[in-house]
Amino acid sequence: MARNEETTVIKKYANRRLYNTGTSTYVTLENLAAMVKNNEEFTVQDAKTGEDITHSVLTQIIFEQENKGGQNLMPIAFLRQLIRFYGDQMQMVIPGYLEHSMSAFAKEQESFREQMTGAMTQTPIKLMEAQVRRNTEMFRRAMTMFNPFVAGALGDVEEGSSDGDSRANGSSAHGRDDDLKSMREQLQRMQERLEAIDAKDAKKGG
């Protein structure tokens, strides 16, 4: 779907009403959800302060959609894991990973639809296995994006520790090194879990 490059400003008033400045009409969260589905770009601003509150409004739209019967996209296990990441060292990685994964999924959604249509005659177990493989592949793509960043950051720390200036900033560099080392270890554990899933699938297929 073609992307609408023009960004519409939505103003939110104290009474929670939303005003579309592009159409000069009041709108609802349902209307904004439709705009998102139609690939219409918009930002939401607090009518009084001008503060950008797009994130909170989009989150509210997701909440509304999730509360509609039969439209749950986020499994309970995913929600629990997402909550655990708040305040965790991995928190800085999660937004980029989720954005990358959803972007990859969106680009290949037509292919996925064709696969799902052709898989309607398959058993539920085979459908589940196919989904696991797709999720694993998207995660691996994200890993290739983050691993160079982590390796590069670690390289900068090690290189900095070899010159005279590193002595003055030794404690700071050591702290960054510890954080990055912990992040790399967590990424490695996540990769090992995916490899274990692949091995299990291969064993079943054999």
pLDDT of residue 206: 58
Does 40 score more than 90 pLDDT? yes
CA distance 13 to 158: 51
Q: What is the mean pLDDT of residues 84-88?
A: 89
Give yes or no for residue 200 having a pLDDT over 60. Answer: yes
Tokens 């967590």 locate to: 186
Cα separation, 114 vs 130, in Å, equals: 13
Ranges 14-18, 116-120, 184-188, most confident:
14-18
Q: Report which of 95, 108, 113, 114 is spatially closest to residue 137, judged by C-alpha positions.
A: 108
- pLDDT of 124 over the 60 cut: no
The residue with greater pLDDT, 23 or 150, is 23
pLDDT grade for 97, boundaries at 50, 70 and 90:
confident
pLDDT band at residue 146 under the 50/70/90 scheme: low
Q: What local confidence, expressed as pLDDT, does residue 34 receive?
A: 95
Q: What pLDDT was estimated at residue 73? A: 84
> Which has more confidence, 130 or 93?
93
Categorize the per-residue pLDDT at 22 as very low, low, confident or very high, splitting at 50, 70 and 90.
Answer: very high
Closest Cα to residue 146, out of 112, 101, 194, 103?
101
Identify the residue with better confidence: 147 or 154.
Answer: 147
- Within 10 angstroms of residue 183's Cβ, the number of other Cβ atoms is 20
Give the pLDDT score at 151: 44
Q: How confident is the model at residue 170 (pLDDT cuts 50, 70, 90)?
A: low
> Measured between alpha carbons, how far is 20 from 30 in angstroms, rounded to an integer?
13
Rg of the chain (C-alpha set): 22
Asked if 150 and 187 touch (Cβ cutoff 8 Å), the reply is: yes
- Which band of pLDDT confidence, cut at 50, 70 and 90, is reported for residue 75? confident
